[in-house]
Amino acid sequence: MTQTISMPLWAFILMVLFAAVTFASHFLFPSVRWFFRKRAERVIAKLNQRLQRPIEPFKLARRYDMIQRLIYDPEVTQAIVECAHKEKIPENVAFEKARRYAREIVPGFSATAYFSVGIRLARWLSKSLYRIKLGAFDRKRLEEIDPDATVIFVINHRSNMDYVLVTYLAANAGALSYAVGEWARVWPLSAIIRAMGAYFIRRKSRGALYRKVLARYVQLATRGGVSQAVFPEGGLSLNGLLAPPRMGLLNYVVDDFDPAAREVIFVPVAVNYDRVLEDTILIKADKSGTRRFKPPLLGVMWRVARHIGLRLSGRFRGFGVASVSFGEPLELSKYHGAESADLTEQVATELMKRIADVTPVVGVPLVARHILQAAPVSRQELEAAVERSILSLRARGIPCPKRSAKTVVQDALSRLSARDLITQTDDRIAVTALGQDILTFYANSIAHHFDAVAARSDDISAVAE
């Protein structure tokens, strides 16, 4: 028992390593996890005291637990069996496919990442690029929303800045869970987005098993009271017009709705900009006739470098106004009992109407509209036309600039001239060849306020590659 034994040095080192790992896994790691979990619980408790809508337990569940709950859901289990039968594969192979889908979809929300990093970054980025203006905003009506209801913000999709802008403006309401397209499934962006509580969706997937896994996650999150944000148009607008809604995610919510369990309230949100960062890329995609686009890496790097240079030299003047309006909330229970051939379509159509009604009119789109109508036009004629439009819009309760028409025109013309979209000679303003498509893109964003022809469903939405 007390004899000395010898062994190779490598074997001794290996034994020490195994002992250290065993000690850490049984004693150290649980203590560390307990410490950070208690700290996270204290952070969340403080956050919930100031948030209008406290973070729901569903959102705080461990990602592993949520994946297990999802793949063992009875409806998903049935879909696995049907998939195995249809594709003539073993059920365990279909099960692993469902697990892979669940791991792809389910986020790993971190309150610290969302509120300590995400919100601050969204605030800084929004305010450093734009002058933020609230359009229609009935604070009292929004505060009266049932605190136990699931709130889903339904937003028109003008730019990828929409995510940032709405996250910043809705910071006090609670943590939003976004449906994010495949464009963001790249490291390290995917890890950051998951930590912010967003979930990934394959917009082009036609597999029944994938759709069932996605549907059940959305339905479980909705029943769990998770505040969500969706873009019903299905992608960015290629030509600036509002697109007809796509029913996918809305249909999952409507199909599983139980008014006796938890109310679902949709809040329409309309966004508009003086400058959409991706405007030329979207217009190019529209001209090519495809909804898929891939921003050129060198072009993006050049724009970022130029932007940094402008900031360092103090010459950056911002991209103008970014305006956000909140429309009249829609309670799903009031539609659920109605006789309708397609309840989802009825709800979606009404939501798009409410978004259209409160879409903000900002300076560049308004001036672009009048230049296109009358070019070449004098500055005096342009100011008079813009003033008439502003007065008409205000009378109808549509969010529009509060500045004088002269100031609106001056600011818009300086921005359009800086991009060589217009020319000003002999007090006459004309559109350049480059500016024709871009001015049309911006004018389209407010076209529905002036009884324009409705947008077509086949040429508006874009999905980023």
Strand-by-strand arrangement of the 236-237 sheet: 236-237, 461-464, 292-293
34 phi and psi, to 5 degrees? -60, -45
Question: Which DSSP symbol is given to 151?
Answer: E
Token pair 């103090």 is found at 314
Question: If you count them, how many residues does the chain have?
Answer: 465
Give Cα separations from 117 to 42, 63, 161, 185 (angstroms). Answer: 17, 20, 17, 20
Q: Is residue 236 within 8 Å of residue 160, measured between CB atoms? A: yes
- Are residues 182 and 223 part of one domain? yes
> Is 108 strand, coil or helix?
coil
pLDDT at 460 over 70: no
**Residue 430 carries which side chain, given as an amino acid letter?**
A
pLDDT at 187 over 70: no
Q: Which pLDDT score is estimated for 34? A: 47
Please report, rounded to a whole number, the percentage of residues in the chain having pLDDT higher than 90.
30
- Are residues 232 and 122 part of one domain? yes
- Are residues 252 and 110 part of one domain? yes
Number of domains present in the structure of the chain: 2
- Are residues 399 and 331 part of one domain? no
Q: Tell me, yes or no, whether 462 lies in a domain.
A: no
Q: Which pLDDT score is estimated for 163? A: 84
- Are residues 268 and 387 part of one domain? no
Q: Tell me, yes or no, whether 411 lies in a domain.
A: yes
Residue 259 pLDDT level (bands cut at 50, 70, 90): confident
Q: What is the mean pLDDT of residues 234-258?
A: 87
pTM of whole model > 0.85?
no
pLDDT at 352 over 90: yes
Quick: pLDDT tens for 276-305: 988 888 898 888 877 666 666 676 677 777
Q: Which of 256, 237, 232 is nearest to 354 (CA)?
A: 232
pLDDT at 462 over 50: no
Question: Which DSSP symbol is given to 446?
Answer: T
Q: Tell me, yes or no, whether 153 lies in a domain.
A: yes
Q: Which pLDDT score is estimated for 96? A: 92
- Could you tell me how many helices (H) and strands (E) the chain has, helices first? 21, 14
Token pair 């599983």 is found at 256
β pairing state of 321-326 and 131-134: parallel
- Are residues 330 and 212 part of one domain? yes
- Are residues 372 and 433 part of one domain? yes
d(Cα 181, Cα 125) in Å, to the nearest integer?
A: 21
- Are residues 396 and 352 part of one domain? no
194 phi and psi, to 5 degrees? -60, -40
Q: Tell me, yes or no, whether 279 lies in a domain.
A: no
Quick: pLDDT tens for 43-63: 556 655 555 666 666 666 778
pLDDT at 374 over 80: yes
**Which of these three, 311, 341, 357, is where a domain ends?**
357
CATH number at residue 395: 1.10.10.10
Quick: pLDDT tens for 260-273: 888 999 999 999 99
Stronger pLDDT, 184 or 391, i.e. the higher one? 391
Residue 64 pLDDT level (bands cut at 50, 70, 90): confident
**Alpha helices, DSSP H only, in 205-342?**
208-223, 248-255, 279-288, 297-312, 333-336
Q: ∠ CA 69-153-150 to the nearest 5 degrees?
A: 45
pLDDT at 339 over 80: no
pLDDT at 129 over 60: yes
Q: Which pLDDT score is estimated for 323? A: 92
Residue 365 pLDDT level (bands cut at 50, 70, 90): very high
Consecutive H or E run containing 430 = strand 428-431
Domain containing 346: what range? Answer: 102-272+319-357
Residue 453 pLDDT level (bands cut at 50, 70, 90): very low
- Are residues 199 and 140 part of one domain? yes
Stronger pLDDT, 338 or 86, i.e. the higher one? 86
- Are residues 167 and 107 part of one domain? yes
- Are residues 367 and 349 part of one domain? no
d(Cα 312, Cα 304) in Å, to the nearest integer?
A: 12
Stronger pLDDT, 13 or 134, i.e. the higher one? 134
Q: What is the mean pLDDT of residues 65-90?
A: 91
**Of the given ranges (311-320, 325-334, 414-423), which has the lowest mean pLDDT?**
311-320
Q: What is the mean pLDDT of residues 116-128?
A: 83
Q: Tell me, yes or no, whether 378 lies in a domain.
A: yes
Q: Tell me, yes or no, whether 93 lies in a domain.
A: no
- Are residues 339 and 191 part of one domain? yes
**Which of these three, 357, 383, 417, is where a domain ends?**
357
d(Cα 250, Cα 411) in Å, to the nearest integer?
A: 39
CA 165 to chain centre: 9
**Of the given ranges (280-284, 307-311, 417-421), which has the lowest mean pLDDT?**
307-311
Q: Tell me, yes or no, whether 455 lies in a domain.
A: no
Looking at every residue in the chain, the average pLDDT score rounds to 80
Q: Which pLDDT score is estimated for 40? A: 55
Residue 395 pLDDT level (bands cut at 50, 70, 90): very high
Q: Which pLDDT score is estimated for 21? A: 66
d(Cα 280, Cα 277) in Å, to the nearest integer?
A: 8
pLDDT at 103 over 70: yes
Q: Which pLDDT score is estimated for 454? A: 39
Q: Which pLDDT score is estimated for 125? A: 85
Q: Tell me, yes or no, whether 243 lies in a domain.
A: yes
Question: Which DSSP symbol is given to 183?
Answer: G
> Is 424 strand, coil or helix?
strand
